[in-house]
Amino acid sequence: MNPENAKAMAEFFIPIVAQEVEINVRVFKAVPEEERDYRPHPKSMSALELARHISLEDVWFLQAVIDGQFGPMPPQGEDSEVTSVADAIGLYNEKMPALMEQVKSLSGEQLTQEVSLLGIFNLPAIGFLSFMIRHSVHHRGQLSTYLRPMGSKVPQIYGGSADNPMELPNS
């Protein structure tokens, strides 16, 4: 991949990241605080654990793209900075806009730099934007399936849901 292509990919992916963050916040807001420990199966993460994982990992991925390397994984347990679903929303509001701006300001050379995900696999830095989106969407999909069993409503994600139908103009 050449630097010009990497820069074009960043310009393409950052608006998608911003859209996914907005959708994640909608899903997070639908989690009733009193149901945050809900999990459909003992092996499943709880609603809070999923919101924590999504928000912390999104920040972690963007920071790795900026730094050209992954730092330590963020704490995911009780020692985490995200101890409520509201904290996950707050983390997004506090960190994601600035991180997205920093990624947009990276040079094509920085975006083509190979980055190792903790020795598991390597990608050009820009590749982790796409990976981050897929990771986030995967876990948000899990969380959105918890909402109705918790007594909540599924918000619009990429269109209407049975709980929040899309209103089309002139319908």
pLDDT of residue 139: 98
- As a whole-number percent, the residues of the chain with pLDDT over 90 amount to 88
- Kindly tell me if the per-residue pLDDT of 10 is higher than 80: yes
| pLDDT tens, position by position, 92-128 | 999 999 999 999 999 999 999 999 998 899 999 999 9
3-state secondary structure of 125: coil
In-domain check, residue 152 = no
pLDDT of residue 157: 96
In-domain check, residue 33 = yes
- Kindly tell me if the per-residue pLDDT of 8 is higher than 70: yes
In-domain check, residue 89 = yes
- Domain interval for residue 81: 3-146
In-domain check, residue 159 = no
DSSP letter string over 44-109? SPPHHHHHHHHHHHHHHHHHHHHHTS--SPPP-STTSS--SHHHHHHHHHHHHHHHHHHHHHS-HH
pLDDT of residue 169: 82
In-domain check, residue 66 = yes
pLDDT of residue 171: 60
| pLDDT tens, position by position, 30-48 | 999 999 999 999 999 999 9
CATH assignment of the domain containing 61: 1.20.120.450
Enter the pTM of the model.
0.94
pLDDT of residue 37: 97
Q: Are 57 and 51 within 8 A, CB to CB?
A: no
Kindly report the average pLDDT of the chain as a whole number: 95
Q: How many domains does the chain fold into?
A: 1
- Kindly tell me if the per-residue pLDDT of 77 is higher than 90: no
In-domain check, residue 166 = no
In-domain check, residue 167 = no
In-domain check, residue 74 = yes
Distance of CA 130 to the CA centre of its chain: 11
